[in-house]
Structure 1
Amino acid sequence: MKILWTAALLAVTPASAQMLNANMADAIVKGCAAHARAKGQSHAIAVVDSGGHIVATWRMDGNTHGMMEFALQKARAVAAWGFPTSGMEEAAKGTPGFAGAAYVVTVAGGIPVFSADGRTRIGGVGASGEAPADDAACAAAGIAAAGLKSEHAR
């Protein structure tokens, strides 16, 4: 049974699959924090892999209670859906039932993470604690600082 499970796992996870690793997540968090400090802001930052599993978090000094959980929700939403949380409110208006679906967050601040070539969604970043547009800018700055993409290459 163990051999079959391993073979099945290898069949769906090719050796060439790109994954969000700890070094990438660290660069994202540091890039987001540097962006925030330059603007005099404080964010809670969460980075998750494509399965929504936490890879890195950072609550900057001065960030308010509860913001880390919200950042994590934003990160998981974009990892699951593949587009920024800023677009989820509009998607909910045009798609009956979407607003009630799992991992839907209709507040800006969640940005998906794609591989450096933009072809593979590898995770998500959520930032929270400032105005939603500032949260989104922080997340995007972190992704760019890591040399990754925030949009799928078409």
Structure 2
Amino acid sequence: MIWVAALLIAAPASAQVLNAEQADAIVKGCAAHARAKGQGHAIAVVDLGGHPVAIWRMDGNAFGMMDFSLAKARAVAAWGFATSGMEEAVKGTPGFADAPHVVTVPGGVPIFSADGRTRLGGVGASGEAPADDAACAAAGIAAAGLKSERAR
């Protein structure tokens, strides 16, 4: 029991983590964006460990779309950059295609804190054209008051 307390004490007080309220806002923002375009997505929001924090399948998704959105979100959580960049990374990095959690289809977008300094997790959207999936994920992140890119 002492080691658990030590781990909790060792975590900085300023550490930011993705919470359920933020994940819910991301899902709702993505869904609102999709509805405005007459689209439907399967949406997955995960923390940095790839654990689902919120998932939602909008009406009209085919079998497998939720699994694909979760794979996109977990890829982003694992690697720290959007799945839209993974296709190029596969071409330029020998062995990357065989690494775990690599998805080369747009629709996975990283979540950063409101100031853009801390990576919190990833969003995956699937069910529409890849560019629309990515736009949905980014719109959800923005609706939650968070960033989809690291501050420079």
Q: TM-score interval w.r.t. the shorter chain?
A: over 0.9
- Residue 86 of structure 1: CA displacement? 0.4
Counterpart pick for 1:98 among 78, 96, 99: 96
1:21 alignment partner in structure 2: 19
- Residue 74 of structure 1: CA displacement? 0.3
2:2 alignment partner in structure 1: 3
Distance 2:13 2:124 in 1: 28
Please list, as runs of the form range in 1=range in 2, the aligned pairs for 1:33-112 lying within 5 A after superposition: 33-112=31-110
- Residue 50 of structure 1: CA displacement? 1.0
Counterpart pick for 1:114 among 112, 115, 138: 112
Alignment-mate amino acid for residue 53 of structure 1:
H
Distance 1:86 1:99 in 2: 14
- Residue 63 of structure 1: CA displacement? 1.0
Distance 1:81 1:141 in 2: 21
Distance 1:69 1:128 in 2: 9
Q: Secondary structure at the match of 2:25?
A: helix
TM-score with structure 2 setting the length: 0.97
How many residues are matched?
152
Distance 1:73 1:10 in 2: 33
- Residue 4 of structure 1: CA displacement? 2.7
Q: Secondary structure at the match of 1:32?
A: helix
Question: What percentage of residue pairs aligned between the two structures are identical?
Answer: 81
Counterpart pick for 1:135 among 126, 133, 136: 133
Unaligned runs of 5+ in 1: none
Deviating beyond 4 angstroms after TM superposition, the runs of 4 or more aligned structure 1 residues are none
Alignment-mate amino acid for residue 22 of structure 2:
M
Q: Secondary structure at the match of 1:130?
A: coil
Alignment-mate amino acid for residue 68 of structure 2:
F
Distance 1:4 1:122 in 2: 25
Which range is displaced more, 2-11 or 58-67? 2-11
Distance 1:140 1:35 in 2: 10
- Residue 52 of structure 1: CA displacement? 0.7
Distance 1:3 1:16 in 2: 22
Distance 2:3 2:76 in 1: 32
Distance 2:63 2:81 in 1: 27
